[in-house]
Structure 1
């Protein structure tokens, strides 16, 4: 499947939030934290707010580095979420929604006072309310 975006760039704010998460969880790889963040946002019932994201940090990765062997799963999950939110699934919409979900998820994870170690990330799915 074709990825929604080839290169992923983050904002300075997202970089600072990821640094906080790296210190708390001891997860060293940006891509792993970004995967958690995307999943956290996709699991939220409301769509992300449409905001302008300035990608002004030095954090950049390819889609392949971000997604690894889970690439198709992330693409399908993003397309399904767009469909559920009444959005098109063209490449531009998918890229925009990916950026919005990624940044929202990073904010959610870094702002969660219960995420203080890697085990707290693992327990997040069991805390999702229906």
Structure 2
């Protein structure tokens, strides 16, 4: 499947929040934490607010690095979410919604006082089932 975005560059705020999550969970890879964040945001019933997100950090990765073996599944989940929210699924809309969901999810995970270790991430995922 064609990626909605070639390269992902995060905001400085998101980078700082990811560093906190890395310390707490001991997950060293940005891309793995970003996958958790995207899924966390996609699980919310409301769409993310359409706010401007600066690309002012030095954290950057390709879509393939972000998604890894799950890149097609994550893209399908994003497309389905756009469809459910009444948005088109063209490349530009997908890229915008991806950035909004990713940054919202990072904020949610970093702001959750209950996430102190990797098991806490798993507990959140199991709650939603």
Which blocks of at least 5 consecutive residues in structure 2 are unaligned?
Answer: none
In the alignment, structure 1 residue 5 sits paired with structure 2 residue 5: yes
The residue aligned with 2:35 is 35
Deviation at 1:3, TM superposition (A): 0.7
Which aligned segments of 4 or more residues in structure 1 are displaced greater than 2 angstroms? 126-129
For the residue of structure 2 that corresponds to 1:28, the secondary structure is: coil
**Rounded Cα–Cα distance in structure 2 between residues aligned with 1:48 and 1:99:** 10
**Rounded Cα–Cα distance in structure 2 between residues aligned with 1:5 and 1:80:** 17
CA shift digits 1:53-89 (9 cap, x unpaired): 0010000001110001111101100000000000000
Q: Aligned residues, how many?
A: 129
Which blocks of at least 5 consecutive residues in structure 1 are unaligned?
Answer: none
Deviation at 1:126, TM superposition (A): 2.5
Deviation at 1:128, TM superposition (A): 3.2
**Rounded Cα–Cα distance in structure 2 between residues aligned with 1:15 and 1:67:** 18
The residue aligned with 2:21 is 21
For the residue of structure 2 that corresponds to 1:58, the secondary structure is: coil
> What are the residue-to-residue correspondences of 1:59-74 with 2, within 5 Å?
59-74=59-74
The residue aligned with 2:126 is 126
For the residue of structure 2 that corresponds to 1:8, the secondary structure is: strand
For the residue of structure 1 that corresponds to 2:8, the secondary structure is: strand
Deviation at 1:125, TM superposition (A): 1.7
Report the TM-score, using the length of structure 2 for normalisation.
0.98
* Superposed CA RMSD: 0.9
The residue aligned with 2:79 is 79
The residue aligned with 1:95 is 95
The residue aligned with 2:107 is 107
